[in-house]
Structure 1
Amino acid sequence: MSTVSKIVPFGSGSRIVETARRTLSTASQGIDALEVQFSDRDFAAIFLRLVGVIMDVRGRLIVTGMGKSGIVARKLTATLTSTGTPAIFMHPADAGHGDLGMVTPDDVVLMLSYSGESNELGPIIHYCKRFGIPLLGLTARSESTVAAASDVCVLLPAVREACPNELAPTTSTTVQMAFGDALAIALMEMRGFSADDFHKFHPNGSLGAQLLKIRELMAKGDGVPRVREDASLLDATMEMTRGRLGGTAVLNQDGELVGAFTDGDLRRTVTDTQHLTEPVGRYMTPTPLTVGSDDLASEALRLMHLHNVTLLFVCDGGQLVGAVHMHDLLNAGVA
């Protein structure tokens, strides 16, 4: 049985589309209002205090919230933990049934509540006051319980919900989410959190694949086919076959990379001459495209597509250290 007591037909598709557009416009106005807040000196000062407290925490940031604010708090927790700020979500309904035990004197609690009056937050507030746990508040009402109890309280702008009944949290949760992202990125930059750090926390999935370094995928040592430039075409062909990368590096007498000889070069060579005893240096591709071992694998794949090649040699400080094939990149999920 439907829980909808009454269905009012819209009458036209254009009205449905207009409702969706109006919802987005209302959400956008909420974010604009939040951005304006940061231009206020007092608001900016409170935000800096908030960041300072979190930066100085010796333990973890305990993030909590009830209802829709709780869902935003979960998302904020996930963003913080993946960008260098140790955080954990604590559900208010479970807090009074033992989960308050996860809060230590080294921790800080960040409490999200648009109204600032969720009853389930009471035990957490009392616990923080009793044991001297710093409490950070994020609310829209300055005279609320959360605002009064917080050691540092960020007052979000009071916004109009997109819900036509002004009941369902819509714009307010959008503003909370946007503020959470702003906070997480500010902390991320303060910590100097790099792409390498990000990859450590995201080793799996497509995101992790885009952050892979070439050194993690390249062939190295004896796995890199190589010949001297005075080696014969036959020797180069045998080395290519051994290496199974579709090509071989060509080195000069000082061991420096001076060219590449690929399957394509071989086919063109055999078409022109049958003298497989001739030196490969005469038929190689000089000054081949190279990458460094610390370059991103995604950049290597971009270069391969741009220059229509499937093999790149890896050089550090002018010395050949590896080779990477397009198949290795694609098999690793690099796109």
Structure 2
Amino acid sequence: MALAYNTGHCDDFALPGGQAQRSPPAPARIRWTSLALIHPTARMMNNAQGRTMHCMICGGPTAYYFSKQYDGPYGIFMTDIPSVDYAICGSCGFVFSMTHQALDADRWSRLNVEFHDHCAQVPYDQKPNSPPYAEQALMLGLAATGTIIDASSMLDYAGGRGILSRLVADLFAMRLDVYEPFVRDEGVSYLDKGDLTKYKVVFNSAMFEHVLCRQDLDDVNDLVDPDGVLIVHTVVGERVPQDPSWFYLTPPVHTAFHTNRSMAVLMEQWGYTCSIYAPKAKSWILLKGDVSRVLDQADAINRRLKTQWLIAKEGFVDYWK
């Protein structure tokens, strides 16, 4: 299965003019019924028995949500895909592209290659939503010195051109291995898929929005050691806007959109008990074990920095309402 990754478009929910917004607009009321009855793509996505598609996160019922047509700079990659149709889960609010799921592997891979080749040509100072690499490196350094994470074995899964790995090495003398199935950059030592093992820390930046099936998510979590942590950088809000112009739909390789509820479900399914959110790094650390210990560790770092740099709680930190 080909995946897209690291588009550099992860940011807070945004209003026109660049203003931040803590809560995306509420979606219109959805009538929960068979996908096959209400949209052509949904009919194609149903199985031979005619059963309704279920959410890859929680197994709940899904319904057609809205459609989007791509034009502008990314329209050239979508000339044979006139419309992208999205469905929403009635239980956890997870939203996914039915159209992308229906693409064959070659077309999906070609879309990824074309898009990322295009992004590679954009100067860094013209990328408005690049991942906060410096803040992510600082988060890893603080978490390691504060014993929140064990930095003895760390992996950046779908780590792109290894920017975070190099920063962590330069700033904190820590090793962050990189697995990246598509791109290569000189000076980065990449792991092949067959070399992957279990890690105390698995970092995953801007890939959770590129998945086509549940296995794509489980493949990442399966690399986490039984007492390790999973770190996720993506956009998560209370709900996904029912709006084709929503900024996070702009990259044509974004296919999956998470909510506070869907992430809480994933945490529970994977056995994580608590989480830490670093707003400046826009990343969540998912942890197992003693919740009170994690809360104390995060508080110790905040007191050291004289600011609430980390937010910790039992379950998923639903920071964006």
Q: How does the TM-score come out when normalised to structure 2?
A: 0.28
Which has the bigger relative contact order, CA under 8 A and spacing at least 6? Answer: 2
More helix by share: 1
TM normalised by structure 1 equals: 0.27
Larger Rg: 1
